[in-house]
Chains A and B, each alone.
Chain A
Amino acid sequence: MFIIKHKWIFLTVSIILVVGSLLLVATKGIKRGIDFTGGTEVVVSYKSAQDVDLGSIKDNLTRTGFEVKDVSLQKKDLDGTNYVSIKLLGEVSQDKRQDFERAYTFDNDPSFVTKQISENVIGPSIGKELTQKAVWSIVLVSIVIILFVTFSFREVSKPVSSFKYGLLTIVTLIHDITIPLGMYAVLGITHGAEIDSLFVLALLTIMGISMADTIVVFDRVRENLKNRKSNETFAEVVGKSLNQTLLRSFNTSLAVLLVLFALYFFGPLSIHDFSLTLIVGMVVGTYSSIFVASPLLVLVEKWQKK
């Protein structure tokens, strides 16, 4: 009951975070990666005693005539290897290949052992398609979630109709994806982070896991409503259901979070940022299914009565 009683505290925290994220996204914008805009990303590894000067790499490239979008440090290994991601607007044509290599190796500076480890060129039409597919995936997932929740809670029409359970699930999902978006708006300014297909994938995964979480709580509400005692209020039923599922939500989230940390610290380089987004999303998602979805359910019932 504690959570239901103090619901406004928890809801306020969420509202501040969501509104803050929206404001950040609206004012600062989110940088779109080459997946969506088209362009080239080259990842170069630097083995060196000293730190790599990202600014100089950018200057070198610009001087050579490349349109540089961003140069950022992707990851630093324990053995001192720096993985630097170089993003260009165009591509590196065959005849400019040597210029390009000279620029990022500082004219073959012997204090660096460099190696170009991957290159990814996305043409504008592919970028357009990836954008549309990303948007469609998110739209479709949202629609399916609302339909599925409405369907599976169809027997619970009193006191809150099953359609509203679906809507509330969507509200928590919006909550769960706005906050990582806000985080990317901030990271975009501080680290030049950009959203790409993997970011969208992380959002969809968060949506999936958070929805599953919310469904578990709502499922318990459904069960307790069936065996509702005559003197129990709706708020009490929801509160009881929350208490009963709290430990499970906590344990599952902890398990998934630890798994994600394993992925973040030990997993492949290419999914490093992806794991970080998932970690943030997972925390936010667990919060929303415990402290947002159910309190909102109680509020909906209250407003209906009025």
Chain B
Amino acid sequence: MKEKKFTHRVVAFWLFLLACLLWYLLLYKTGDFKYGLDLNGGTSLTYVADLSKITQANQDAANASTSVSTTTGQKVQTVAGTQLNIEDSMNGLRDVIEKRVNMFGVSESIIRTEYSRYTDEHRLIVELPGITNLDEAIQMIGDTPILEFKVVDEKTDSDTGATSTELIDTGLNGNYLKKSILSFDPYTNKPEVILSFNDEGKKMFAEITKNNIGKQVAIYLDGQVISSPTIQQEIDGGDATISGNFTTAEAKTLVTRLNSGALPVPVNLASSQVVEATLGTQAKTDGLLAGEIALCIIIVLMILWYRLPGLLASAALMVYVGVVLFLFKEIPVVLTAAGIAGFIISIGVAIDANILIFERLKEELRSGKNLSDAVEEAFHRAWTSIRDSNIASILVALILFYFGSALLAGFGLVFGIGVFVSMLSAMFVSKYFIRAFVPESTDSKYYKLLKFLFGSGFSK
């Protein structure tokens, strides 16, 4: 018995040291928290990608391949190919926007793609911390050159002699552009733009030029023809030259725009959010203040209600807060106003486990058990309630995290982490802290004092 008590005290001591170390790290050695736009100020833009062209092209391809071969293998391949194509385009889109945002020197911007199965939309989300001028931000992203190559197919009707032109989409577009440079025609000294394609683009370009010798290829920028040279010969592995009637300045702008990236797919702004930096700072300060007040209230309540165990539970609560904040920094969790609320509420829920245990402790003491037995029994008996109610809360948090919108997911993550850590803290940290103070036997000279301290404060 005595040895067991000694072990309890050693564990409690180490837990205490670890907690101190954790708080030291938290306060002096770790970086800052990551805050969402609503707490930092900034702009968030959500674009919906217009993939109608790509899906159309894929459908055509699928129709073509099914007419050629109807084996199931072929079909599966085509369907898989479709998915891949969209994903590639979206990734390309993201890279382009990323380049563009970086060119404007926005630090810590987040650019990501998202698929919504609810509305069947592919989206691009751009978060720009520190940018609070919505129009400026939209301008920065929105200047979207779309580069396309189309073959001009002229058909002469043999009966009437009338010619009709048809534009055939080649599939070659800004996606396949590696870079473009400004150059001058050595003979005329006119400015021209040279486009270099990546490997895939080169192959496509060679194919197009090979199959369409003598025809014109129209180069479209943002839906406007900027040049339509006639193909003289197959251009294998070479570059395409646009020698439209540019001024040098125009050609220069075109090169810059092309190099900052032509968007592989058109995008439309679907939603936006701007938060002024001062509001964000205010929200951060308010959130912190509310959290501190909440923590103080809980600690005062616990000590008034449960005396010594209340004090020990408060110590355990500080360990809990330390662990959660440490996790927030290290994972890292992006904190939003709703997330901070989630954490503050989880402090309230965290204390529930302790309340359950201490109410049980009072019952056990009333039934005539000695302190040591009563403490063990209280923790043991309260466990099923704590386990079930906490698992239930964690399940709710998981649903929010996986199925909820960004707001709900952020709250769910913080709340889930909070409840999970609180369960461990109540069952482990509180337990050892309390055990350390329980006298080993009833003949200890402090027994009476301790029994008083373990009694409840307000409610008899």
Q: Which of B38, B273, B363, B388 makes the CB contact (< 8 A) with A244?
A: B363
Q: Is the CB of A125 within 8 A of B119?
A: yes
User: A149, A252, A259, A269 — which one has the most chain B CB atoms within 10 A of its CB?
Assistant: A259
| B135 CB–A CB distance under 8 Å | yes
Interface string of A129-157 (1 = CB under 8 A from B): 11011101100110011001100100000
Kindly list chain A residues whose C-beta atoms are within 8 Å of the C-beta of B48: 123, 125
Interface string of A241-259 (1 = CB under 8 A from B): 0001101100110111011
Given A259-B344, A271-B338, 4 further pairs, Cβ under 8 A: A115-B276, A251-B359, A262-B344, A268-B284
| B305 CB–A CB distance under 8 Å | yes
Q: Is the CB of B385 within 8 A of A209?
A: no
| A70 CB–B CB distance under 8 Å | no
Min Cβ gap A216→B in Å is 5
Q: Given the known A-B contacts A125-B119, A248-B356, A251-B359, are A118 and B408 also in contact in the complex, defined by CB atoms under 8 Å?
A: no
Q: Is the CB of B389 within 8 A of A263?
A: no
Q: Is the CB of A197 within 8 A of B407?
A: yes
Of residues 321 through 354 on chain B, the ones whose CB sits less than 8 Å from some CB of chain A are 337-338, 340-342, 344-345, 347-349, 351-352
Of residues 61 through 75 on chain B, the ones whose CB sits less than 8 Å from some CB of chain A are none
Min Cβ gap B280→A in Å is 9
| A260 CB–B CB distance under 8 Å | yes
| B390 CB–A CB distance under 8 Å | yes
Of residues 19 through 53 on chain B, the ones whose CB sits less than 8 Å from some CB of chain A are 38-39, 46, 48
A86 to B117, CA, bound (A): 31
Q: Is the CB of B337 within 8 A of A270?
A: yes
Kindly list chain B residues whose C-beta atoms are within 8 Å of the C-beta of A251: 301, 305, 355, 359
Kindly list chain B residues whose C-beta atoms are within 8 Å of the C-beta of A293: none
Of residues 48 through 98 on chain A, the ones whose CB sits less than 8 Å from some CB of chain B are 94, 97
Give the secondary structure class of B's interface: helix
Q: Which of A132, A209, A220, A262 makes the CB contact (< 8 A) with B118?
A: A132
Min Cβ gap B134→A in Å is 6
User: B286, B305, B347, B348 — which one has the most chain A CB atoms within 10 A of its CB?
Assistant: B348
Task: List chain A positions with a Cβ less than 8 A from chain B.
Answer: 43, 94, 97, 115-123, 125-126, 128-130, 132-134, 136-137, 140-141, 144-145, 148-149, 152, 197-198, 200-201, 204-205, 207-209, 211-213, 215-216, 219-220, 223, 244-245, 247-248, 251-252, 254-256, 258-260, 262-263, 265-271, 274-275, 278
Q: Given the known A-B contacts A268-B340, A278-B345, are A252 and B351 also in contact in the complex, defined by CB atoms under 8 Å?
A: yes
A201 to B405, CA, bound (A): 10
User: 6 A-B pairs, CB-CB below 8 angstroms?
Assistant: A121-B272, A144-B395, A197-B405, A212-B390, A223-B381, A262-B294
Q: Is the CB of B396 within 8 A of A204?
A: yes
Q: Given the known A-B contacts A123-B270, A262-B297, are A255 and B351 also in contact in the complex, defined by CB atoms under 8 Å?
A: yes
Kindly list chain B residues whose C-beta atoms are within 8 Å of the C-beta of A252: 348, 351-352, 355-356
| B289 CB–A CB distance under 8 Å | yes
Q: Given the known A-B contacts A125-B121, A133-B408, A144-B396, are A267 and B275 also in contact in the complex, defined by CB atoms under 8 Å?
A: no
A97 to B139, CA, bound (A): 15
Q: Is the CB of A200 within 8 A of B408?
A: yes
Min Cβ gap A223→B in Å is 8
Kindly list chain B residues whose C-beta atoms are within 8 Å of the C-beta of A267: 286-287, 289-290, 337, 340-341, 344
Give the secondary structure class of A's interface: helix
Q: Which of B348, B400, B405 makes the CB contact (< 8 A) with A259?
A: B348
Q: Is the CB of A201 within 8 A of B411?
A: yes
Q: Is the CB of B399 within 8 A of A144?
A: yes
Closest to B44 in A: A120
Closest to A264 in B: B290
Q: Is the CB of B118 within 8 A of A129?
A: yes
A258 to B294, CA, bound (A): 7
Q: Is the CB of B119 within 8 A of A129?
A: yes
Q: Given the known A-B contacts A94-B135, A263-B290, A266-B290, are A140 and B399 also in contact in the complex, defined by CB atoms under 8 Å?
A: yes
Q: Is the CB of B279 within 8 A of A204?
A: no
Min Cβ gap A148→B in Å is 6
Closest to B399 in A: A140
Q: Is the CB of A255 within 8 A of B298?
A: yes
| B274 CB–A CB distance under 8 Å | yes
Min Cβ gap B300→A in Å is 9
A115 to B275, CA, bound (A): 12
Q: Is the CB of B270 within 8 A of A263?
A: no
Kindly list chain A residues whose C-beta atoms are within 8 Å of the C-beta of B392: 145, 148-149, 208, 211-212, 215
Q: Is the CB of A205 within 8 A of B345?
A: yes
Q: Which of B39, B138, B345, B397 makes the CB contact (< 8 A) with A256?
A: B345
User: B138, B384, B385 — which one has the most chain A CB atoms within 10 A of its CB?
Assistant: B385
Kindly list chain B residues whose C-beta atoms are within 8 Å of the C-beta of A200: 408
Closest to B116 in A: A129
Q: Is the CB of B408 within 8 A of A260?
A: no
Min Cβ gap A270→B in Å is 5
Q: Is the CB of A201 within 8 A of B338?
A: yes
Q: Which of B271, B301, B389, B397 makes the CB contact (< 8 A) with A255?
A: B301
Closest to A118 in B: B275
Min Cβ gap B378→A in Å is 12
Q: Which of A152, A198, A207, A244 makes the CB contact (< 8 A) with B338?
A: A198
Min Cβ gap B36→A in Å is 11
Min Cβ gap A199→B in Å is 11
Closest to A131 in B: B118
Kindly list chain B residues whose C-beta atoms are within 8 Å of the C-beta of A278: 345
Min Cβ gap A226→B in Å is 11
A244 to B301, CA, bound (A): 20
Q: Which of A97, A115, A121, A133 makes the CB contact (< 8 A) with B404?
A: A133
Q: Is the CB of B395 within 8 A of A148?
A: yes
Q: Is the CB of A118 within 8 A of B348?
A: no
| B226 CB–A CB distance under 8 Å | no
Min Cβ gap B33→A in Å is 15
Min Cβ gap B220→A in Å is 26
A302 to B274, CA, bound (A): 58
Kindly list chain A residues whose C-beta atoms are within 8 Å of the C-beta of B391: 148, 152
Closest to A257 in B: B348
Q: Given the known A-B contacts A141-B399, A212-B349, are A259 and B408 also in contact in the complex, defined by CB atoms under 8 Å?
A: no
Q: Which of A43, A248, A268 makes the CB contact (< 8 A) with B286?
A: A268
Kindly list chain B residues whose C-beta atoms are within 8 Å of the C-beta of A271: 337-338, 341
| B278 CB–A CB distance under 8 Å | yes
Kindly list chain B residues whose C-beta atoms are within 8 Å of the C-beta of A209: 345, 349, 393
Q: Is the CB of A263 within 8 A of B344?
A: yes
Shortest 6 CB-CB contacts between residues of A and residues of B: A212-B389, A268-B283, A123-B270, A256-B348, A267-B290, A208-B396
Closest to B362 in A: A247
Closest to A130 in B: B405
Kindly list chain B residues whose C-beta atoms are within 8 Å of the C-beta of A130: 405
| B293 CB–A CB distance under 8 Å | yes
Kindly list chain B residues whose C-beta atoms are within 8 Å of the C-beta of A262: 290, 293-294, 297, 344
Closest to A123 in B: B270
